[in-house]
Structure 1
């Protein structure tokens, strides 16, 4: 899925520089990796206003990240998306 979307700064998921702009880097990391059954609401709220959300999501999909909130989606939501896009 990489290469399809680029952020405001022209960064791509292959360029790790996007992570420096991520709002989650300034937030409690535990919110993005909740215990099983824990709330993802806080993490998803942060992702909604993050300018590199698309790069983050593409990175997670391209690297098969199985845990945590990436690009505003949970593991289950990413699996569903991956099945839909084939």
Structure 2
């Protein structure tokens, strides 16, 4: 393997801002803040807007919206006059 081309992976604390869920994983993301993990270690901190703990797809709270049917009906109504 070539030297110097691989990123510097380290343990990083990720925090979901929507519900406060924290998890530690290895990452090379650039951070400016540090945070305390559950095991007491001081780690680089990265704040997330959403994670698997808060995303509707993973929590089962996703709402299925049928937009295709509405678009088709809107199209038919708009161009119904040209059919005659």
Using the size of structure 2 for normalisation, the TM-score is 0.19
Higher helix share: 1
Q: Which has the larger radius of gyration?
A: 2
Higher strand share: 2
Using the size of structure 1 for normalisation, the TM-score is 0.18
